[in-house]
Amino acid sequence: MEKFNDILQITKEIFTTSRGSHDWGHVERVYNLCIHIGKKENADLHVLKYAAILHDIGREEEDSSNGKVCHAEIGSEKARELLLNNGVEKIDEICHCILTHRFRGDKNPLTKEAKVLFDADKLDSIGAVGVGRAFLFAGEIGAKLHEKNINPDKIKPYSRDDTAYREFLCKLRHVKKRMLTSEGKKIAQERHIFMEEFFKRINNESEGKC
């Protein structure tokens, strides 16, 4: 527990300069979801605790590069060094979780714990909090509020047109189908319904409809 608390404090410090859409609040929510799902799935909570608090420590590098580098790859490297320096057990298992947690990544979660982290991280991108984070991120990069009639594939990421609605079309509406655990699928179903209703409503309201 002492090692975990030491790393927890180090990680918190890293997030003092993070963007609001990927701040310490996001890490805490993913941690809580990991523990909840991990218990349901009989996963290794030691691995999950470390993986959850460290999964986004490479995020600042990705943001500063406008998405040109992968925060999961950078994060797993940074996590390995931190874990080695603190004598934590099961480093390979923890780093695998971090390396494979990204929705747009090309590396698949192979272990039960990696699948739990993947689901927990994705669940925080949908539902009420997910919608809020999508708009927060759009504001952080200077995107406009909303544009209904768009071709999401023709819009450049990190541009003025990279709206929350584009994120919904490109990623968020597909999250439910990507869940890897039974509990993750259950939670995603309800959050997905709320999110779909929200974007239907904003499409109507943006045209002045009731």
Alpha-carbon distances, residue 167 vs 91, 96, 128 (angstroms): 33, 26, 14
Give per-residue pLDDT as tens, 116-138: 999 999 999 999 999 999 999 99
CA dist 38 and 46 (Å) reads: 10
From 42, 165, 146, 50, select the one nearest 98 (Cα to Cα): 50
Residue 142 main-chain phi, psi, to 5 deg: 85, 25
Across residues 67-73, what is the average pLDDT? 86
Supply the pLDDT for residue 53: 97
Question: What mean pLDDT is reported for the chain?
Answer: 93
Q: Residue 208 to residues 152, 168, 203: CA-CA distances in angstroms?
A: 23, 21, 9
How many Cβ atoms from other residues are within 10 Å of residue 197's Cβ?
10
Give the whole-angstrom CA distance, residue 195 versus residue 201. Answer: 10
CA distances from 137 to 32, 101, 145, 210 (A): 22, 19, 11, 27
d(C-alpha 103, C-alpha 158), whole Å: 17
pLDDT(210) > 70 = no
Question: Are the CB atoms for 20 and 140 separated by under 8 Å?
Answer: yes
pTM, full prediction: 0.92
Q: Domains of the chain (ranges plus CATH)? A: 1-107 (1.10.3210.10), 125-210 (1.20.58.1910)
